[in-house]
């Protein structure tokens, strides 16, 4: 387990990576990526039992993670590279031709750490339920984690998956919802109201945890550990994690406007000044 100050440093560096990747490509999704930095750093740096090398698709006796909202690939790529899955330099190829770092994550180019393609929304929870059922069949006691967006919950397939996980008592599964209240066309309340999200999940038979401080690293780590303790009791577990889209870069915070927009040079410089280079170094 990496110590806490190292994880804090990693979180700063990941934010730099996100901005620089999206700037380099002049394309990508910085807002949701920045909002989920603490989640990814906590998960890969502290919570997951995982093996970057050699990366094995089946991940027997390891924890598995699935990203349903694949458009926040920059944060995932950064954390994967910085936890040893592939060379850091590869981040400079993000969204460019002949790259393994496709706009949305895919197994198709053989990038270590990725187990399914995602990006067309609403499919990740189903996949995670399947992987969790597979572990149960194998008597594998490790966990399956999945991150989904809140806007993504507009997709009906999620609710099929949520219903099925409870029905089949998939209690080795921890889903986290990035509850940032934003989607492309605006705030979720205006685009498609989620109403009472906790009540919805409860009504579907899940053990529901709410994390108010999804951009506080210690809180995220504590919550993920708590969620693990809540598993194995006949119910799947969901963490409704409140985050701020664009967190860490003041002009991007809390708005859907940076959902899928890249900064220009001036905006990049402004951002870089807010997440100062660490000794981990840029890619």
Positions that interact with other proteins (CB under 8 A): 57-60, 64, 66, 106-108, 115-120, 122-135, 137-138, 140, 156-157, 160-161, 163-164, 167-168
Longest dimension (CA), the chain: 53
Cβ distance to other proteins smaller for residue 9 or 160: 160
Could you tell me the smallest distance in angstroms from the CB atom of residue 260 to other proteins?
19
Given a contact cutoff of 8 angstroms between Cβ atoms, the answer to whether 86 and 113 are in contact is yes
Given a contact cutoff of 8 angstroms between Cβ atoms, the answer to whether 236 and 22 are in contact is no
Q: Helices 217-230 and 4-25 sit at what angle, rounded to 10 degrees?
A: 110
Could you tell me the smallest distance in angstroms from the CB atom of residue 125 to other proteins?
8
Cβ distance to other proteins smaller for residue 116 or 220: 116
Could you tell me the smallest distance in angstroms from the CB atom of residue 72 to other proteins?
16
Cβ distance to other proteins smaller for residue 65 or 258: 65
Cβ distance to other proteins smaller for residue 172 or 262: 172
Cβ distance to other proteins smaller for residue 67 or 252: 67
* CA distances to 136, 228, 258 from 205, in Å: 19, 17, 34
C-alpha angle 247/250/256, rounded to 5°? Answer: 60
Q: Are strands 144-149 and 64-67 parallel, antiparallel or unpaired?
A: parallel
Place of tokens 């008592």: 169
Task: Count the residues in the chain.
Answer: 283
Could you tell me the smallest distance in angstroms from the CB atom of residue 188 to other proteins?
22
Cβ distance to other proteins smaller for residue 52 or 187: 52
Q: Distance between terminal CA atoms of the chain?
A: 23
Q: Whose CA is closest to 103, among 186, 24, 36, 163?
A: 24
Could you tell me the smallest distance in angstroms from the CB atom of residue 203 to other proteins?
16
């Amino acid at each position: 387990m990496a110590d806490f100050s190292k994880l804090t440093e990693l979180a700063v560096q990941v934010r730099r990576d996100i901005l620089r990747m999206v700037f380099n490509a002049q394309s990508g999704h910085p807002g949701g990526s920045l909002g989920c930095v603490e989640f990814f750093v906590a998960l890969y740096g502290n919570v997951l039992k995982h093996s970057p090398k050699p990366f094995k698709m089946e991940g027997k006796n390891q924890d598995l993670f699935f990203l349903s909202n694949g458009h926040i690939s920059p944060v995932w790529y950064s954390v994967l590279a910085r936890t040893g899955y592939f060379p850091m330099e590869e981040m400079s190829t993000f969204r460019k031709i002949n790259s393994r770092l496709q706009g949305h994550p895919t197994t198709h180019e053989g990038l270590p750490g990725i187990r399914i393609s995602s990006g067309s929304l609403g499919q990740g929870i189903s996949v995670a339920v399947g992987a969790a059922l597979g572990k149960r069949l194998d008597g594998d006691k490790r966990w399956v984690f999945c991150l989904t967006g809140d806007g993504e919950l507009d997709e009906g397939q999620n609710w099929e998956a949520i219903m099925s996980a409870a029905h089949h008592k998939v209690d080795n599964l921890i889903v986290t919802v990035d509850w940032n209240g934003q989607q492309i066309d605006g705030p979720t309340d205006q685009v498609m109201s989620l109403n009472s999200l906790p009540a919805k999940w409860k009504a579907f038979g899940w053990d529901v945890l709410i994390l108010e401080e999804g951009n506080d690293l210690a809180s995220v780590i504590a919550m993920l550990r708590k969620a693990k303790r809540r598993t194995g009791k006949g119910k799947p577990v969901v963490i409704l994690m409140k985050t701020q889209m664009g967190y860490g870069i003041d002009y991007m915070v809390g708005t859907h406007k940076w959902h899928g927009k890249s900064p220009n040079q001036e905006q990049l410089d402004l951002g870089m000044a807010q997440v100062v280079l660490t000794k981990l170094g840029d890619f």
